[in-house]
């Protein structure tokens, strides 16, 4: 995927203006944490949902605790993958759910690393059922979450691993030939449908088709929300936007005047929240660095606690003008090296995955792809995170498909009876 032209946001408080760089995506990604609804899932396996009895036995506190883990990991992940001066859009929720499903099959030190990184209460954290169930009631935004397992035909998986992932995450299970292009096409079609065509493929990013692949785990998140108060298209015009290098570029910028919104201040930034829908349950938080603070500097110090404090500090205020660029961004990256650097090293090497399968596969790769569009009507965004489990290829085949030499010998004496070289076996 190509990256969109750098874009970001500006809002004005009491006639003071400050520029925001491409890291607006940090706030955007966290909007996805407040989403809901596990979508119907097509595929060969039966449709499944989060177990109602399991979810009902948990509390709002369990959902909030799971969300805290999502946020803490999400900020660490974003900081690690964001490159200076580059647009970055991550989905903490999608990455966390995907890796939590993988963690359900981990054991030993491998499980401990994943539990610590993701803020789980154990490798099989049922609190995610509470979180997903709480997010089902999405109010007046559209939000769909889907999870799926694509298993290699005949590969042995532990029944309790599969049932836990289906019960807790509402995942479907399909058995396919992961070494075939047909299976790769089927996975891409599933992603395309789950993200409403915003992300059309992930199989090639995961290295599929691959005869050594034994399990593909997928999570998708789709979000669509309309602003509580829409921007008027007649109030959108070209305005200069200051890039980090000091150059100005002209970008289509939406405007609203004398607006009642919620704002707050953090260390080195202002926050403004633009809500979606009539109930305003979901919203976009725009973080605007102070004039003397570069966006990359802000990102270095931004974590879940800093963000949470700013959100908790939001207060109603009258803003003389909001000026927010329209933007459309696509982003994708392999998360393997980043996850290793964050402490999840064993999973990609000799980590224990026997709770997943007696054959003890390893985590070969994790990939995330995202899309977001913000315009006068609202926001549409999608994410897919995929992980592929593989088995050792074993010793390479001994395939005699080129000129070779041979001997015929006596094992007892070591005497060579015949010695030959074959350039053309046809004679």
Mean pLDDT, rounded, of the chain: 84
Distance between CA atoms of 220 and 199, rounded to whole angstroms? 10
pLDDT exceeds cutoff 60 at 305: yes
Mean pLDDT of 200-219: 96
40 pLDDT band, cuts 50/70/90, is very low
Confidence of residue 56 (pLDDT cuts 50, 70, 90): confident
Query: Does residue 30 register a pLDDT over 50?
Result: no
Q: Rounded distance, CA 61 to CA 64, Å?
A: 5
In a 3-state reduction of DSSP, which class is residue 362?
A: strand
- The answer, yes or no, to whether residue 13 has pLDDT greater than 80, is no
Helix then strand then coil, in percent of the chain rounded to 5, is 30, 30, 40
pLDDT band at 411 (very low <50, low <70, confident <90, very high): confident
Residue 33's pLDDT band (boundaries 50, 70, 90)?
Answer: very low
- Exposure class string for 251-285: b at 16+ Cβ within 10 A, else e: bebbbbeebebbbbebebbbbbbbbbbeeebbbbb
CA distances from 215 to 95, 174, 290, 298 (A): 17, 10, 46, 38
**Tokens representing 159?**
């029944």
CA atoms within 13 A on the CB side of 57: 8
Q: What whole-number distance in Å separates Cα of residue 148 and Cα of residue 233?
A: 40
Backbone angles phi, psi at 14, to 5 degrees: 50, 45
Counting runs of H as helices and runs of E as strands, what totals does the chain give? 11, 15
SS3 1: coil
Confidence band, pLDDT 50/70/90 cuts, at residue 37: very low
Query: Residue 181 gets which letter from DSSP?
Result: H
Q: Please give the angle made by the CA atoms of 240, 246 and 250, to the nearest 5 degrees.
A: 20
- Give the dihedral of Cα atoms 256, 260, 265, 269; nearest 10 deg: -10
Q: Are strands 404-409 and 416-422 parallel, antiparallel or unpaired?
A: antiparallel
Residues 6+ apart with CB under 8 A from 180: 209
8 Å CB contact between 268 and 262: no
Quote the CA–CA distance of 366 and 345 in Å, as a whole number.
13
Contacts of 173 (CB under 8 A, 6+ apart): 45, 148, 149, 151, 162, 166
pLDDT at 29 over 50: no
More confident residue, 103 or 29: 103
Q: Is the pLDDT of residue 394 over 70?
A: no
CA 3, chain centre distance (Å):
17
Task: List, in order of start, the domains of the chain with CATH numbers.
Answer: 10-226+328-390 (3.30.497.10)
Query: Tokens at residue 356, please?
Result: 């997943």
Burial code of 296-334, b = ≥16 C-beta within 10 A, e = fewer? bebbeebbbebbeebbeebeeeebebbbbbbbebbbbbe
């Amino acid at each position: 995927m190509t990256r969109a032209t750098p874009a970001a946001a500006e809002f004005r408080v009491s006639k003071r203006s400050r520029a925001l760089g491409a890291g607006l995506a940090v706030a955007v990604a966290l909007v996805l944490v407040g989403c809901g609804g596990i979508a119907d899932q097509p595929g060969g396996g039966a449709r499944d949902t989060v177990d109602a009895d399991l979810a009902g036995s948990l509390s709002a506190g369990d959902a909030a605790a799971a969300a805290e883990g999502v946020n803490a990991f999400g900020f660490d992940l974003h900081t690690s993958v964001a490159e200076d001066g580059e647009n970055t859009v991550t989905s903490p929720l999608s990455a966390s759910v995907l890796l939590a499903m993988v963690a359900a099959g981990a054991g030993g030190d491998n499980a401990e690393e994943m539990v610590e990184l993701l803020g789980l209460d154990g490798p099989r954290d049922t609190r995610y059922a509470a979180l997903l169930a709480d997010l089902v009631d999405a109010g007046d935004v559209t939000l769909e979450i889907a999870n799926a397992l694509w298993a290699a035909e005949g590969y042995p998986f532990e029944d309790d691993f599969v049932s836990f992932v289906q019960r807790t995450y509402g995942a479907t299970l399909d058995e396919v030939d992961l070494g075939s292009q047909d299976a790769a096409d089927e996975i891409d079609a599933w992603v395309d449908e789950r993200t409403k065509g915003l992300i059309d493929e992930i199989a090639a990013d995961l290295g599929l088709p691959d005869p050594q692949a034994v399990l593909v785990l997928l999570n998708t998140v789709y979000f669509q929300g309309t602003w509580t108060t829409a921007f008027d298209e007649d109030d959108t015009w070209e305005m200069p936007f200051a890039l980090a290098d000091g150059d100005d570029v002209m970008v289509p910028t939406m405007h609203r005047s004398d607006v009642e919104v919620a704002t707050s201040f953090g260390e080195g930034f202002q926050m403004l929240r633009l809500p979606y829908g009539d109930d305003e349950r979901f919203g976009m938080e725009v973080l605007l660095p102070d004039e003397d603070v570069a966006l990359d500097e802000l990102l270095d110090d931004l974590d879940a606690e800093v963000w949470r404090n700013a959100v908790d500090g939001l207060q109603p205020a009258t803003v003389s003008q909001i000026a927010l660029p329209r933007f459309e961004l696509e982003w994708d990256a392999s998360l393997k090296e980043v996850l290793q650097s964050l402490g999840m090293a064993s999973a990609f090497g000799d980590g224990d995955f026997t709770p997943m399968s007696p054959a003890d596969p390893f985590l070969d790769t994790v990939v995330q792809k995202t899309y977001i569009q913000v315009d006068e009507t609202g926001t549409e965004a999608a994410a897919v995170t995929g992980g592929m489990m593989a088995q050792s290829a074993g010793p390479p085949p001994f395939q005699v498909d080129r000129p070779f030499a041979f001997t015929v010998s006596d094992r007892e004496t070591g005497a060579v009876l015949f010695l030959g070289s074959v350039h053309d076996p046809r004679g």
